A and B are shown apart, each in its own frame.
Chain A
Amino acid sequence: MTATTTSNLVACPGCLARPTQDIEAVLPDAKRALSLPTIHCQACISKVENALLAHVGVRAARVNLTRKRVMIDAAPDVTAPELAALVIAAGFEAHELDPGALSQTQTDAAGRDLLMRLAVAGFAAMNVMLLSIAVWSGATDATRDMFHWISAAITLPVLAFSAQPFFRNAWAALRAGKLNMDVPITLAIALAVITSLWETGLSGEHAYFDAALALTFFLLAGRWLDARARSAARSAAEELTALEVPRALKVIAGSPEEVSVSALVVGDVILVRPGARAPLDGKIIEGTSEVDRSALTGETLPVLRRPGALMSAGEVNLTGPLMLEATAVGTDTSLHQLAALVAVAESGRSRYTSLADRAAKLYAPGVHILSALAFLGWLIWSGDMRVSLNIAAAVLIITCPCALGLAVPAVTTAASGRLFGKGLLIKNATALERLAEVDMVVFDKTGTVTMGTPELINWDSLSDRQKSIAYGLARGSAHPLSKAVVTCAEAAGVAPISGLGRLRENPGYGSEGALSDHRVRLGRPEWIGIDAEDAGLCAALECGPGERTLLYFADRIRPGVTDLVADLRARGIDMALLSGDRSPSVAQMAEALGIETYAADMLPAEKVSYIHDLAQTGRKILMVGDGLNDTGALAAAHVSISPAQALDAARAASDIVLLGQDLSPVADALATARLATKRISENFTIATIYNIIAVPLAVAGLATPLIAALAMSTSSLTVSLNALRIGGRR
């Protein structure tokens, strides 16, 4: 499964990447990382490595095919864009990664630690099981005692090492005055070891060393599966972050120089090129341009900014170059102030208790009471301390949540593996359970149900001459509305008007040119002289004196949204559309999608309180959003999804990240989450049935170590196999 999940994971980071400005700059770090989404075989590995090693400044290059990236050790004057160019020349897609954001080592260390404990427990469990089989098949007297002592010699040090995570968790829970799954586990292991040692010392017949080890082994397997699934998702999410290399163009002595954003201080002057995102809050000291604020506010309409105006971090400069004087950097920027909102909203969610914890709450006291009762009952009836303790240990071992420990992680691993294949990264351990409970979906508009790229809607009402003039004017501009005109014209096969001269772009206003001594213009309606106050997203076109017309634009709907909405309606899930955009465009979008509930002009805090109010009435809300203005709402909702194109802060606040453009996998995620929860409760039922059969035997004193071992292994196996059914059904 590893192979399939990891190979799908890289499918998108590649198409998301926006190449950073190709500026020759010296960066102090010598480690470079490139993302290579298209490599797939040994020939790719050697081609990439040889291409990189051919460069004189490269000391070492190592491709990791599993993660689809290459780590390069190079001289300090070799830049990552330069190395990426080498790989691209060799015929592969390559994107620069920020090595600082790839902090995979920490999660990897935790996984390796668990794997080590698992291996030691597995080794010991196998050996002790072999010795136990000899005992079960009829070894007696000195042979049995020797086998028991050898088992004890293996078991004690191994448990001391391997079962540490359980001991630590149990201790932490007890200190907090709570009971979790680890408490009965620890108690069962401890009691099994104590009674077995006692029995062995008295040359007794039954010892549970094998059971204690098998228990540790199965439970560690569950923990490890859990850790691995989460580390895979986290690594993919980290890769998305690492693709956004935090660089800025600092103006030093009149010329821009590429520096790391973290090195900037208040008062620095930076250059923000058209198409770039402002890395900090600043005052515009030079340049006029239009600014896209959609990530911060959800407005689709760009805003005109002149010198003296303020620009916030996260806003995208559209038309002309801007010089900013930094007024706030790092954590003081308005972007980071949204993080405070996230922290407040998140505190509400942490109250969620996972299915496993809820089961533990019922289970742990039950197990303890049952075993204590068995102990007391036998003590009163037989008066024999040794027999009673043996029975109590047998009850604890048989009821120990071995299968329960696997019930949840096995299912979540299988389900996240399946969703991984569909382009969904499950970042949070309980996200699937919460997703299964969802009864209402709240969408953000700009960038989530829409692509954030406008589309010309009244193209067909223009004359051929207007079309070709508009195309001619729009061709040279990077403005999103101009790009929409170009897309439309190219699709319709219109030729740009001939004889268009003196073409130039006025940043912040539009493009103009001269056509047979007339001035022709395409740009802001106010600039051209048309009143378009309530027209929504539009531009004006002037084809000659007095010949003015308006071009209307609408945001393009993201693929898969209509399917998703239809699917959700069929399931009877309510939907709502929230946006910081103006009312008419939100209403229009809501109507187009068939969503009855919508709210416009929402500030980030209003979105949070909207979600809170709904949650107060008992609704379980799935929030789907991408903007910085959604981060609070994403954190406040019961569960949240953001597309991979969303900004880092939004992805960090959400539980699930959706790779790819299409939104329809959200419906799959809901279905899989419900299936997973069903499997989890099935697993709980299976485990309970095993207990119902085995517990009376244990209480009656009929349980031998052989029966305990059989019950434990079969229930664990059944539960794992049941979990795997999710991954199998495609």
Chain B
Amino acid sequence: MNVLAYLIPISLLLGGLGLVGFIYTLRSRQYEDPEGDARRILSSDWDDKPRSD
């Protein structure tokens, strides 16, 4: 059962990573335009280089 000493922190860390990722997306306002963002990926406008602004 000693393996628990590693597994529990690891599982918490991984879950926490997901949480931090979600909070980052929320903070950087990535849910403002879900429909638009889903569509933008289909356009080839900025495929060669990222937009500068």
Contacts and interface: CB of A to CB of B under 8 A. Distances in A.
Given A65-B35, A116-B26, A42 B42 contact: yes
Given A65-B33, A66-B35, A127-B11, A60 B26 contact: no
Interface in A100-132: 112, 115-116, 119-120, 123, 126-127, 130-131
Given A42-B43, A46-B45, A67 B16 contact: no
Interface in A108-166: 112, 115-116, 119-120, 123, 126-127, 130-131, 143, 146, 150, 154
A92 B18 CA distance: 40
Nearest to A104: B32
A51 interface: no
A120 B21 CA distance: 12
B39 A42 contact: yes
A64 B43 contact: no
Contact of A42 (B15, B18, B40): B40
Given A46-B45, A127-B11, A63 B22 contact: no
Contacts, number: 62
B36 interface: yes
B33 A123 contact: no
B43 A45 contact: yes
Nearest to A41: B39
B36 A65 contact: yes
B39 A65 contact: yes
B8 interface: yes
Nearest to A122: B19
Given A119-B23, A123-B18, A67 B40 contact: no
Contacts of B19: 119-120, 123
Interface string B10-53: 01100110110011001000011111100111110100000001
Nearest to B37: A65
Contacts of B3: none
Interface string A57-81: 0011001111100000000000000
A2 interface: yes
A60 B34 CA distance: 20
A150 B4 CA distance: 12
A46 B41 CA distance: 11
B23 A116 contact: yes
A66 B33 contact: yes
A146 B23 CA distance: 29
B6 to A, nearest CB: 14
Contact of B36 (A64, A116, A119): A64
Contact of B43 (A7, A46, A115, A119): A46
B28 to A, nearest CB: 11
Given A116-B23, A119-B26, A120-B19, A66 B43 contact: no
B12 A127 contact: yes
A65 B40 CA distance: 10
Contacts of A119: 19, 22-23, 26
Nearest to A112: B26
B51 to A, nearest CB: 9
A160 to B, nearest CB: 16
Contacts of A64: 32-33, 36
Given A119-B19, A130-B11, A6 B35 contact: yes
Count class of interface residues, chain B: 20 to 34
A55 to B, nearest CB: 15
Contact of B53 (A42, A60, A131, A150): A60
A56 interface: no
A176 interface: no
Interface in A250-270: none
A3 B35 contact: yes
Interface in A303-338: none
Interface string A12-56: 000000000000000000000000000001110110001000000
Interface in A344-375: none
A174 to B, nearest CB: 31
Contacts of A127: 11-12, 15
A317 B51 CA distance: 48
A102 to B, nearest CB: 13
A66 B32 contact: yes
B43 A43 contact: yes
B34 to A, nearest CB: 6
Nearest to B5: A146
Contacts of A3: 34-35
A120 B20 CA distance: 9
Contacts of A63: 36
Contacts of A41: 39
Contact of A126 (B8, B15, B43): B15
A486 to B, nearest CB: 41
Nearest to B53: A60
Contacts of A2: 34-35
A66 B40 contact: no
Interface string A498-533: 000000000000000000000000000000000000
A64 B31 CA distance: 11
Nearest to B32: A64
Contacts of B15: 123, 126-127
Nearest to B41: A42
A728 B39 CA distance: 26
B14 to A, nearest CB: 10
Contacts of B41: 42
A126 B1 CA distance: 22
A123 B16 contact: yes
Interface of A: 2-3, 6-7, 41-43, 45-46, 50, 59-60, 63-67, 112, 115-116, 119-120, 123, 126-127, 130-131, 143, 146, 150, 154
Given A7-B35, A65-B39, 11 more contacts: A3-B35, A41-B39, A42-B43, A65-B33, A66-B33, A66-B35, A66-B36, A119-B26, A123-B19, A127-B12, A130-B11
25 contacts: A2-B34, A6-B35, A41-B39, A42-B40, A42-B43, A45-B36, A45-B43, A46-B45, A65-B36, A66-B32, A66-B33, A66-B34, A67-B33, A112-B26, A115-B26, A115-B31, A119-B19, A119-B23, A123-B15, A123-B16, A126-B15, A127-B15, A131-B8, A146-B4, A154-B12
Closest 3 CB pairs of A and B: A65-B36, A42-B39, A42-B43
